[in-house]
Amino acid sequence: MDCGYDENYVYKLCKEMFFTDKVETLGKLDEFINTFDFKTHEYTVYIGFSRDVSAIGPLFAKLHFSGKTKARVLTTEEVPEGIKIKRQKTILEFSALKACDAFSAYKIAYKIATGISDSYEFYRHKNASILVKGQVVCENKKVILVERNRLLQSRVASFSQNDAQSQADRLLEAQFSMMKNRTDVGKIIKVHNEAIRSRNTNESLLSLWSLLEFLSQNVFGKTVNSEQENEKSNIGNVIDIVVPFLKCAYIVKLVNGCKEDIERWNAEFYKDYIINNGFGNTELEHTFAFLAFEATQSDRNELYTLTENYPLLRCRVATLADKMKDKKSIGQLIGEYEKSVRWNLYRTYRIRNYIVHDAEEKEELTYELLCELHQYVDIITDKIIELINETPGGESVAGAIDYCKLETNIFDEQMKSQKNELVCEENANKYLYHRLT
């Protein structure tokens, strides 16, 4: 990517060559590497607007490019055959753009197009509504549809209709458990949904970060110290709230991801060796037993034998089995994760400050941190809902946060003070759910 290739192009190739196509030999890796010739190629890029903005044509006419590159505004009648025009009133054409790949060419064209349209909108006070899709014609005349993937909504996982209905039922139960929760939980729902729907990466990040600060103020209250002390206490309070929730959900997250990979690879193996292994009461607990127990080593060996052509899955299972085998290994695994969470939160806080104080955009970095931040908010919200609903008579949001912090801190102290032990049927749930009972 530092050699001129766009990350989305690299991701697309990885997905096609290693996850869509069957990988049988290491020659696939050579084929992947040889795809990158590190040369620039000529592309023609088409970017569409859902409104008629042909008035900005004269602005594009003033652009001067090096080489043969040209830009012009097309009507739908002037668009070449093979280029989609549905829901597009004005289309920009950038011809002979030089780039290493189609995604990089689109990014260049997009930045030019939005730079001019933004200047136009500044005085027009009307959104030009640039579409989030572009079309790139390669040298071999192949047309590639490129999506900016800048909406948070395009990256986060979605529930099925039935799952969403049941989860919404839990959410409503928590919201109406007491008067205070109607306000607090309602605020979480509203701000979260606005962040998902926003077409601006910075707005989404600021919205989700404001939720974390809102939750920290619920517990710690608003500080009244100097501005410098406030800055330190804000990030410190956010970290104090986020870390316990993520630590108690981390092993579950890893096991669940591995469970889905194994089931996708071989449903019959998953049924015979995991669902029916006799350990635990849920699919998650069955999978944790498969990964962590000494007694299931023969089952893991069978998977290693069958996954000769699936090195990524084999490596993932072997790595998790090694890191989940005993108390010490799990403690180290969670400790490393906690460090990365703290680092990500500090990075996100710095980006937040760039946006708020310097009106600065760091789009690529902001987007990746935004996806992490959304995941953090979802995990915290889900655990708060669970704790509120499990408490007889209900519990406040602040009370749920305090309970999670206390339980996690006690468990961490216990992990440090007790001697090492293998993960087995008697203690498995303690380590899976990171709690005392």
Which of the residue ranges 76-80, 140-144, 306-310, 325-329 has the most confident prediction, judged by mean pLDDT?
325-329
Which of the pair, 250 or 147, is modelled with greater confidence? 250
Q: Report the alpha-carbon distance of residue 255 to residue 80 in Å, rounded.
A: 50
- Whole-number pLDDT of residue 76: 76
Question: 131 or 330: whose pLDDT is higher?
Answer: 330
In this prediction, residue 162 carries a pLDDT of 58
Q: Is the pLDDT of residue 46 over 80?
A: yes
The conformation of residue 326, written as its DSSP 8-state character, comes to B
Six-digit token string for 227: 């501005």
Q: Residue 168: how many CB atoms within 10 A of its CB?
A: 12
Lowest mean pLDDT among 91-100, 164-173, 229-238, 331-340: 229-238
pLDDT digits (tens, 9 = 90+) for 221-259: 654 444 455 555 789 999 999 999 999 999 999 999 999
Contact 435, 414 (CB under 8 A): no
Q: Which pLDDT does position 388 carry in this prediction?
A: 93
Neighbouring CB atoms inside 10 A of 235's CB total 21
In the β-sheet with 130-137, what is the strand arrangement from edge to edge? 70-74, 90-99, 41-49, 130-137, 143-147
Q: What number is the average pLDDT over the span 356-384?
A: 84
Predicted confidence at residue 258, as pLDDT, reads 95
Could you read off the pLDDT of 3-24 as tens digits, one per residue? 688 877 888 888 888 877 777 7
Selection from 217, 135, 151 nearest residue 184 by Cα = 217
Q: How would residue 274 be classed by pLDDT, with cut points 50, 70 and 90?
A: very high
Rounded CA separation 191/207 (Å): 6
Q: Cβ(292)–Cβ(325) under 8 Å?
A: yes
